[in-house]
Amino acid sequence: MKTPVTSTSTSGLRGEYDGAAEDFTVPQDWQRYPPEAHERWRRLYTAQSGLARRYAASQFVEGLERLDCAAGIPRFADANEVLRAATGWELVAVPGYIPDAIFFQHLAHRRFPVTRWLREEHELDYLVEPDVFHDFFGHVPMLLDPRVADFLELYGKAGERAMEMGALDMLARIYWYTVEFGLVRQGDALKVFGAGIVSSAGETVYAIEDREVLRLPFDPVRIMRTAYSIDSFQQNYFVLESLDQLIDGLVQLDFGPIYERWRGETPLPAGQALPGERTLDAFGEPLT
């Protein structure tokens, strides 16, 4: 999730928490982006949008086209007009990581926090924290899909219970393995829709084409029990049969007993299948 940090960048927007509201929102201050930042965005966009057309879910590609953000860092106000009309969501600018409780509150009210600063030149290939490219390019196109929009609102509402039960790490894994690093079957192929994949050139190709990576059918309980990597490509991914599973597979699930059963257990290691577990190849077909 999101916890405040402080840092600096040449644009002066990175980690700038002074003046943030109680909900950690800040003005986007679009006029403060220097020309070189817009040029950097264009290069990132050109590279990733090309990969997205080949590897990403159709809903992502369609959403990206509707947002029309190829020319430079987008104005959140412009994107909000599109989002509100489609799914009732809006973007709010934040200076960086924000507390978990605040993050959940925003999602529960259909507000998606978008970090306003852009990565520096030396961070183009790898970035350890979300920036505006990850948050906007990676997440916002999928917010135009009603199923993802509804799922994120419900996820935000689930946060309070998870915190009360000491199971926040279990709920966080649901977000990680779907919204950030989810795969979905479309036709006879697997496609990426998670923002952590689709905003990374290397992981976009790796998640689909690597023959050794572990791909498992979507299973909420398995996901909540599975550790993940934060500083490297993921060692396993979970595959949705369709985006409908985000709602059908989770809304009717009572998380309370699952938290009670598994919250004290050591998470299952990433990248290791359980005995007898069905695994999938790059086309979503069973390997075992």
Residue 63 identity (one-letter amino acid): G
* Residue 38: per-residue pLDDT: 97
Domains of the chain as residue ranges with CATH: 30-262 (1.10.800.10)
pLDDT over 60 at 6, yes or no:
no
pLDDT over 50 at 261, yes or no:
yes
* Residue 44: per-residue pLDDT: 96
Give the Cα-Cα-Cα angle 233, 68, 82 (nearest 5 degrees): 100
Tens of pLDDT, residue by residue over 89-145, are 999 999 999 999 999 999 999 999 999 999 998 888 777 789 999 999 999 999 999
Tens of pLDDT, residue by residue over 197-250, are 999 999 999 999 998 899 999 999 999 999 998 888 999 999 999 999 999 888
3-state secondary structure of 218: coil
pLDDT over 60 at 188, yes or no:
yes
pLDDT over 70 at 3, yes or no:
no
Structure tokens at 110: 């259909």
What does the DSSP 8-state code read for residue 121?
Answer: G
What does the DSSP 8-state code read for residue 41?
Answer: H
- Contact by Cβ (8 Å): 142, 193: yes
Distance CA 86, CA 267 (A): 38
Tens of pLDDT, residue by residue over 9-68, are 445 688 889 989 999 999 999 999 999 999 999 999 999 999 999 999 999 999 999 999
The percentage of residues in the chain with a pLDDT greater than 90, rounded to a whole number, is: 83
